[in-house]
Structure 1
Amino acid sequence: MTISGLELTTTALVLLVLAAFAAGWVDAVVGGGGLVQLPALLLVPGMSPVQALATNKVASILGTGVSAATFYRRVQPGLATAGPMALAALLGAGAGAAVASALPVGVFKPVILVALVAVGVYTVARPQMGRATTLRWEGRRHLLTALGLGAVIGCYDGLLGPGTGSFLVIGLVSVLGYGFLEASAQAKIVNVATNLGALVVFTLQGAPLWALGLVMGVANIAGAYTGARMAVARGSGFVRVVFIVVVSALIVRLAVDVL
């Protein structure tokens, strides 16, 4: 069958849909769904890396939007942090996407690998971290730190993508002091903005394969809705465990590419 100008077998399409569902679930709970969805797209014959990045954003923004809405209704995270952070992330993601096709992304992988190992060790070594919200700072310092995190992680999302939600969660937990559940809820709002910022730029470049992205987006929505409800029902402890598993998987994946 032909979708977005690509010849796909039924098996390949089913695998892409399953990958999108799994990615939506992972993204909703703790972020990092790109670890599943983007590699699946990169395996499609005839698809360029930039097209894969752009199509991944089409599917991801649909699922992330649903999980953000679900979290907001059930957890009701404060928008005083998530709102400004999302704006900074949107601008950062747009900047990252603008240079995504020009920079050798392999240069960044070793740095990201080291950062993820540090994040994983830090999270495992501090089992009480993120059990409840205990903010490090209030007022201007809190806001400026959130803006900085949003801009940097947003730029990474536009440039590469996989693990963005996990970086947002660990930043909100370890740097700002949120509990894992509330951090996950706020991260979804910010992640919608990073996806949007990157997608706008990719669309101007004509990169997204819309038909394929929308088909995967439906599966991503189903996974996101399921994951968000499960995370809210089971709380911060469950989110922390999934976070450690996802970070570990991302470390292994990047290590294979780098080493």
Structure 2
Amino acid sequence: MIAALLVAALAAGWVDAVVGGGGLLLLPALLVVAPQLGTATALGTNKLAAICGTSTAALAYARRTTIDWTVAGPSAGLALLCAGAGALLAGSVPAAAYRPVIIAVLVAVAVFVTVRPQMGLVEHPHKRTPRRRGVVVAVAGVAIALYDGLIGPGTGTFLVLAFTAVVGADFVHGSAMAKIVNTATNLGALVVFAATGHVAWLLGAAMAAANIVGALIGARMALRRGAGFVRIVLLVVVLTLIARLGYLHATSAQ
């Protein structure tokens, strides 16, 4: 069980650092491999591993690329509070509800990225108007952060898409800002889960170490290979997960 979760944490760290969405690997792994934890503890343990990976990736991006703090800073501040609010409600969502929600979200992401092939390949600074900055801060710092605390998987991907679609960042710079905000959402949710006793600390610490290794590898690859590489990884990961979760959902319904 532990070996399987460590492999999942390593892969999730890599995916999270490149394009976000590592929780789409790690949370289902926890729910399937360690169902005895329960939904809330699986969410809390996932946050412990994820915050280590996202903060590591955020530092790697900050050292080697420019981060627009006028967008990332306010988004992260709001996200810290709103993710905590979402985490307070997390226990009310049954585990059975996660799979169809995640599948629907993944399909929406795949369609959005496919129909806009040029999105995120180059930066569009003219889109960074005060109005658009306000919109993306509200979307990233409130709506997506609440989702992260409540459910979680796909948060990093949604953040990348918000920063590319709304304020014209390319995928690399969008990923950099997403890591800053995702670190805040993970921290806000983790504080609540820890306070309510829903973190498996030893298991989470082991997964965190694997997640950090994956995050370092992923961040360096994304920075070296650029926005086109990130877009390809995004589509491959999303389509693979849709197929896998769709199969599991279909077989469980029979």
TM, length-normalised to structure 2: 0.90
Write out per-residue CA displacement over residues 128-148 of structure 1, whole angstroms, 9 at most, x where no aligned residue: 111111142412442243223
Bigger drift between 245-254 and 180-189 goes to 245-254
Where in structure 1 are there 5+ consecutive unaligned residues?
A: 1-11
Q: Which residue of 2 aligns with 1:39?
A: 28
Q: Provide closer, same or farther for how the CA distance between residues 45 and 141 of structure 1 changes in structure 2, counting only shifts above 3 A.
A: closer
SS in 1 for 2:90: coil
Q: Which residue of 2 aligns with 1:176?
A: 167
Where in structure 2 are there 5+ consecutive unaligned residues?
A: none
SS in 1 for 2:91: coil
Give the length in aligned residue pairs: 248
Bigger drift between 181-190 and 98-107 goes to 98-107
- Rounded Cα–Cα distance in structure 1 between residues aligned with 2:158 and 2:101: 13
Write out per-residue CA displacement over residues 4-36 of structure 1, whole angstroms, 9 at most, x where no aligned residue: xxxxxxxx2221111111110010000111122
TM, length-normalised to structure 1: 0.89
- Rounded Cα–Cα distance in structure 1 between residues aligned with 2:184 and 2:135: 18
Write out per-residue CA displacement over residues 56-115 of structure 1, whole angstroms, 9 at most, x where no aligned residue: 111110111100000110112111100111112222211110000023465676565444
2:174 is aligned with what amino acid?
Answer: A
1:95-244 counterparts in 2 under 5 A?
Answer: 95-104=85-94, 110=100, 113-135=103-125, 136-244=127-235
Q: Which one of 90, 94, 110 corresponds to residue 80 of structure 2?
A: 90
- Rounded Cα–Cα distance in structure 2 between residues aligned with 1:111 and 1:41: 17
**8 Å CA contact retained: 1:59, 1:220:** yes
2:8 is aligned with what amino acid?
Answer: A
- Rounded Cα–Cα distance in structure 2 between residues aligned with 1:112 and 1:13: 24
Q: Provide closer, same or farther for how the CA distance between residues 115 and 50 of structure 1 changes in structure 2, counting only shifts above 3 A.
A: closer
Q: Which one of 8, 32, 49 corresponds to residue 19 of structure 1?
A: 8
The alignment yields a C-alpha RMSD, in angstroms, of 1.9
**8 Å CA contact retained: 1:30, 1:239:** yes
- Rounded Cα–Cα distance in structure 1 between residues aligned with 2:98 and 2:53: 27
**8 Å CA contact retained: 1:146, 1:176:** no
Write out per-residue CA displacement over residues 132-166 of structure 1, whole angstroms, 9 at most, x where no aligned residue: 11142412442243223321111111111111111
- Residue 168 of structure 1, CA deviation: 0.8
- Rounded Cα–Cα distance in structure 2 between residues aligned with 1:211 and 1:112: 27
1:217 is aligned with what amino acid?
Answer: A
Q: Provide closer, same or farther for how the CA distance between residues 113 and 140 of structure 1 changes in structure 2, counting only shifts above 3 A.
A: same
Which structure's residues are more often helix, by fraction? 2
Q: Provide closer, same or farther for how the CA distance between residues 108 and 49 of structure 1 changes in structure 2, counting only shifts above 3 A.
A: closer
Q: Provide closer, same or farther for how the CA distance between residues 108 and 35 of structure 1 changes in structure 2, counting only shifts above 3 A.
A: closer
Q: Which residue of 2 aligns with 1:7?
A: none
**8 Å CA contact retained: 1:105, 1:160:** no
